[in-house]
Amino acid sequence: MKKILLLALLILGTMLLTACGSDNAQKPAADTKTAVSASEKSSAPKQQPAGKGKVLVAYFSRTGDNYQVGYIKKGNTHVMADMIAETTGADTFEIKTVKSYPEDYRECTEVAAKEREDNARPELSGKVPNWQDYDTVFLGYPIWWSDMPMAVYTFMESYDWADKTVIPFCTSAGDVLTGRESDIPRFAKGATLKEGLGLEGKRVQEQPDTVRPKVDKWLESLGYKK
Protein backbone atom coordinates (compact mmCIF):
# COMPACT_ATOMS: atom_id res chain seq x y z
CA MET A 1 0.00 0.00 0.00
CA LYS A 2 2.82 2.36 0.91
CA LYS A 3 4.52 1.60 -2.40
CA ILE A 4 1.36 2.45 -4.32
CA LEU A 5 0.95 5.74 -2.41
CA LEU A 6 4.60 6.66 -2.97
CA LEU A 7 4.27 5.94 -6.69
CA ALA A 8 1.16 8.10 -6.90
CA LEU A 9 2.96 11.03 -5.20
CA LEU A 10 5.92 10.71 -7.58
CA ILE A 11 3.60 10.80 -10.64
CA LEU A 12 1.73 13.85 -9.27
CA GLY A 13 5.01 15.71 -8.58
CA THR A 14 6.27 15.01 -12.09
CA MET A 15 3.04 16.40 -13.60
CA LEU A 16 3.30 19.61 -11.52
CA LEU A 17 6.95 20.14 -12.55
CA THR A 18 6.07 19.63 -16.23
CA ALA A 19 3.23 22.17 -16.03
CA CYS A 20 5.46 24.82 -14.39
CA GLY A 21 8.20 24.19 -16.92
CA SER A 22 5.82 24.79 -19.83
CA ASP A 23 4.65 28.12 -18.35
CA ASN A 24 8.21 29.34 -17.79
CA ALA A 25 9.24 28.30 -21.30
CA GLN A 26 6.53 30.52 -22.84
CA LYS A 27 7.60 33.74 -21.06
CA PRO A 28 10.99 34.21 -22.78
CA ALA A 29 9.26 33.73 -26.15
CA ALA A 30 6.79 36.50 -25.33
CA ASP A 31 9.59 38.79 -24.10
CA THR A 32 11.62 38.14 -27.25
CA LYS A 33 8.64 39.09 -29.43
CA THR A 34 8.20 42.34 -27.50
CA ALA A 35 11.89 43.18 -27.88
CA VAL A 36 11.77 42.61 -31.64
CA SER A 37 8.74 44.88 -31.98
CA ALA A 38 10.47 47.64 -30.04
CA SER A 39 13.55 47.26 -32.24
CA GLU A 40 11.45 47.50 -35.40
CA LYS A 41 9.79 50.67 -34.13
CA SER A 42 13.08 52.36 -33.25
CA SER A 43 14.64 51.53 -36.62
CA ALA A 44 11.64 52.72 -38.68
CA PRO A 45 12.29 56.03 -40.50
CA LYS A 46 10.61 59.03 -38.89
CA GLN A 47 8.42 61.21 -41.06
CA GLN A 48 9.90 64.69 -41.65
CA PRO A 49 7.58 67.40 -40.32
CA ALA A 50 6.47 70.03 -42.83
CA GLY A 51 8.86 72.94 -43.05
CA LYS A 52 11.79 71.19 -41.36
CA GLY A 53 13.81 70.30 -44.47
CA LYS A 54 16.29 72.63 -46.13
CA VAL A 55 14.51 75.64 -47.63
CA LEU A 56 15.37 77.96 -50.54
CA VAL A 57 13.76 81.26 -51.51
CA ALA A 58 14.31 81.74 -55.25
CA TYR A 59 12.95 84.96 -56.72
CA PHE A 60 12.91 87.10 -59.84
CA SER A 61 12.64 90.82 -59.12
CA ARG A 62 13.13 94.03 -61.07
CA THR A 63 14.74 97.34 -60.11
CA GLY A 64 14.57 100.64 -62.02
CA ASP A 65 11.30 102.41 -62.86
CA ASN A 66 8.38 100.38 -61.49
CA TYR A 67 4.61 100.74 -61.55
CA GLN A 68 3.23 102.90 -58.68
CA VAL A 69 6.54 103.14 -56.80
CA GLY A 70 8.80 104.96 -59.24
CA TYR A 71 12.53 104.25 -59.40
CA ILE A 72 13.63 101.60 -56.91
CA LYS A 73 16.98 99.98 -56.16
CA LYS A 74 15.45 96.89 -54.54
CA GLY A 75 12.57 95.18 -56.30
CA ASN A 76 9.19 94.61 -54.64
CA THR A 77 9.46 90.83 -54.91
CA HIS A 78 13.00 91.01 -53.51
CA VAL A 79 11.64 92.76 -50.41
CA MET A 80 9.02 90.03 -49.93
CA ALA A 81 11.61 87.31 -50.54
CA ASP A 82 13.78 88.71 -47.75
CA MET A 83 10.82 88.64 -45.36
CA ILE A 84 10.23 84.95 -46.12
CA ALA A 85 13.91 84.12 -45.73
CA GLU A 86 14.13 85.94 -42.39
CA THR A 87 11.08 84.14 -41.00
CA THR A 88 12.00 80.66 -42.25
CA GLY A 89 15.81 80.83 -42.00
CA ALA A 90 16.00 79.89 -45.70
CA ASP A 91 18.79 80.45 -48.20
CA THR A 92 18.08 82.89 -51.04
CA PHE A 93 18.80 82.88 -54.76
CA GLU A 94 18.02 85.70 -57.18
CA ILE A 95 16.93 84.60 -60.65
CA LYS A 96 18.76 86.85 -63.14
CA THR A 97 18.78 86.93 -66.92
CA VAL A 98 21.90 87.24 -69.07
CA LYS A 99 20.27 90.14 -70.92
CA SER A 100 18.94 92.77 -68.51
CA TYR A 101 15.45 94.18 -68.89
CA PRO A 102 15.08 97.93 -69.67
CA GLU A 103 15.02 100.18 -66.61
CA ASP A 104 12.24 102.25 -68.16
CA TYR A 105 8.87 100.84 -67.11
CA ARG A 106 7.07 101.18 -70.45
CA GLU A 107 9.98 99.70 -72.41
CA CYS A 108 10.13 96.79 -70.00
CA THR A 109 6.41 96.06 -70.42
CA GLU A 110 6.90 95.94 -74.20
CA VAL A 111 9.78 93.47 -73.91
CA ALA A 112 7.79 91.37 -71.45
CA ALA A 113 4.77 91.33 -73.77
CA LYS A 114 6.90 90.18 -76.70
CA GLU A 115 8.50 87.40 -74.62
CA ARG A 116 5.09 86.19 -73.50
CA GLU A 117 3.76 86.25 -77.06
CA ASP A 118 6.75 84.20 -78.23
CA ASN A 119 6.62 81.89 -75.20
CA ALA A 120 10.30 82.77 -74.84
CA ARG A 121 12.77 81.26 -72.40
CA PRO A 122 15.31 83.99 -71.57
CA GLU A 123 18.76 82.69 -70.72
CA LEU A 124 19.65 82.85 -67.03
CA SER A 125 23.00 84.00 -65.70
CA GLY A 126 23.45 81.53 -62.85
CA LYS A 127 22.44 78.21 -61.29
CA VAL A 128 21.44 77.31 -57.74
CA PRO A 129 24.39 75.71 -55.93
CA ASN A 130 23.59 72.33 -54.34
CA TRP A 131 20.05 72.29 -55.73
CA GLN A 132 19.63 68.68 -54.67
CA ASP A 133 19.97 69.65 -50.99
CA TYR A 134 16.72 71.65 -50.89
CA ASP A 135 13.39 70.10 -49.94
CA THR A 136 11.26 73.24 -50.30
CA VAL A 137 11.52 76.13 -52.76
CA PHE A 138 9.59 79.37 -52.30
CA LEU A 139 9.33 80.74 -55.83
CA GLY A 140 8.78 84.50 -56.17
CA TYR A 141 8.07 86.85 -59.07
CA PRO A 142 6.15 89.98 -60.11
CA ILE A 143 3.04 89.57 -62.25
CA TRP A 144 3.74 90.55 -65.85
CA TRP A 145 0.79 90.57 -68.23
CA SER A 146 -1.26 88.40 -65.86
CA ASP A 147 1.46 85.77 -65.83
CA MET A 148 4.86 84.89 -64.44
CA PRO A 149 7.82 86.49 -66.23
CA MET A 150 9.18 84.13 -68.89
CA ALA A 151 12.49 84.00 -67.01
CA VAL A 152 10.68 82.16 -64.21
CA TYR A 153 9.60 79.49 -66.68
CA THR A 154 13.24 79.13 -67.72
CA PHE A 155 14.13 78.64 -64.07
CA MET A 156 11.46 76.02 -63.46
CA GLU A 157 12.46 74.02 -66.53
CA SER A 158 16.15 74.09 -65.60
CA TYR A 159 15.93 71.75 -62.59
CA ASP A 160 14.70 68.38 -61.42
CA TRP A 161 11.88 69.05 -58.94
CA ALA A 162 11.25 65.45 -57.90
CA ASP A 163 10.41 65.16 -54.18
CA LYS A 164 10.48 68.94 -53.74
CA THR A 165 7.72 71.26 -52.55
CA VAL A 166 7.23 74.53 -54.42
CA ILE A 167 5.40 77.48 -52.84
CA PRO A 168 4.70 80.51 -55.05
CA PHE A 169 4.62 84.16 -53.95
CA CYS A 170 4.31 87.32 -55.98
CA THR A 171 3.86 91.08 -56.01
CA SER A 172 1.60 93.08 -58.29
CA ALA A 173 -0.92 95.94 -58.34
CA GLY A 174 -3.08 94.04 -55.84
CA ASP A 175 -3.08 91.32 -53.19
CA VAL A 176 -3.47 88.53 -55.76
CA LEU A 177 -1.65 85.65 -57.43
CA THR A 178 -1.54 85.25 -61.20
CA GLY A 179 -4.25 82.57 -61.23
CA ARG A 180 -1.87 80.29 -63.15
CA GLU A 181 -0.18 78.77 -60.12
CA SER A 182 -1.94 75.43 -60.61
CA ASP A 183 0.13 75.05 -63.80
CA ILE A 184 3.46 75.28 -61.97
CA PRO A 185 3.94 71.48 -61.65
CA ARG A 186 3.73 71.26 -65.47
CA PHE A 187 7.01 73.19 -65.66
CA ALA A 188 8.54 72.37 -62.27
CA LYS A 189 8.11 68.69 -63.05
CA GLY A 190 7.83 66.41 -60.04
CA ALA A 191 7.12 69.21 -57.56
CA THR A 192 4.33 69.25 -55.01
CA LEU A 193 2.51 72.59 -55.01
CA LYS A 194 1.45 74.36 -51.82
CA GLU A 195 -0.69 77.44 -51.25
CA GLY A 196 0.93 80.69 -52.39
CA LEU A 197 0.59 84.35 -51.45
CA GLY A 198 0.26 87.48 -53.55
CA LEU A 199 0.75 91.00 -52.16
CA GLU A 200 0.48 94.54 -53.49
CA GLY A 201 3.96 95.63 -54.60
CA LYS A 202 3.49 99.25 -53.57
CA ARG A 203 2.63 98.28 -50.00
CA VAL A 204 5.47 95.75 -49.80
CA GLN A 205 7.91 98.42 -50.99
CA GLU A 206 6.67 101.41 -48.99
CA GLN A 207 5.00 99.85 -45.93
CA PRO A 208 6.74 96.53 -45.28
CA ASP A 209 5.76 96.48 -41.61
CA THR A 210 2.07 96.35 -42.58
CA VAL A 211 2.47 93.24 -44.73
CA ARG A 212 4.97 91.32 -42.61
CA PRO A 213 2.26 89.97 -40.22
CA LYS A 214 0.36 88.61 -43.23
CA VAL A 215 3.52 86.91 -44.53
CA ASP A 216 4.24 85.44 -41.10
CA LYS A 217 0.66 84.15 -40.71
CA TRP A 218 0.84 82.50 -44.14
CA LEU A 219 4.17 80.83 -43.35
CA GLU A 220 2.90 79.65 -39.98
CA SER A 221 -0.20 78.12 -41.60
CA LEU A 222 2.11 76.13 -43.91
CA GLY A 223 4.38 75.03 -41.07
CA TYR A 224 7.44 77.00 -42.21
CA LYS A 225 7.78 79.60 -39.48
CA LYS A 226 10.92 78.87 -37.47
- The per-residue pLDDT for range 190-222, each reduced to its tens digit, is 999 999 999 999 999 999 999 999 999 999 999
Positions of E strands within 2-161: 55-59, 64-66, 70-72, 91-94, 136-142
Q: How many residues does the chain have?
A: 226
Give the lowest-confidence range in 16-25, 77-86, 99-108, 121-130.
Answer: 16-25
Q: What is the pTM of this model?
A: 0.77
The percent of residues above 70 in pLDDT, for the chain, comes to 77
Question: Quick check: 91 pLDDT over 50?
Answer: yes
CB 170 within 8 A of CB 196: yes
Query: Which of 11 and 193 is assigned the larger pLDDT?
Result: 193
Give per-residue pLDDT as tens, 168-191: 999 999 999 999 999 999 999 999
CB 96 within 8 A of CB 225: no
Question: Quick check: 46 pLDDT over 50?
Answer: no
CB 57 within 8 A of CB 138: yes
**3-class state of residue 193 by DSSP:** strand
Question: Which of 131, 132, 184 minimizes the C-alpha distance to 156?
Answer: 184
Phi, psi of 56 (to 5 degrees): -125, 140
Q: Output helix, strand, coil percentages for the chain, rounded to the nearest 5.
A: 50, 20, 35
- Is the four-CA dihedral 108, 110, 113, 119 of positive or negative sign? negative
Overall average pLDDT of the 112-137 stretch: 97
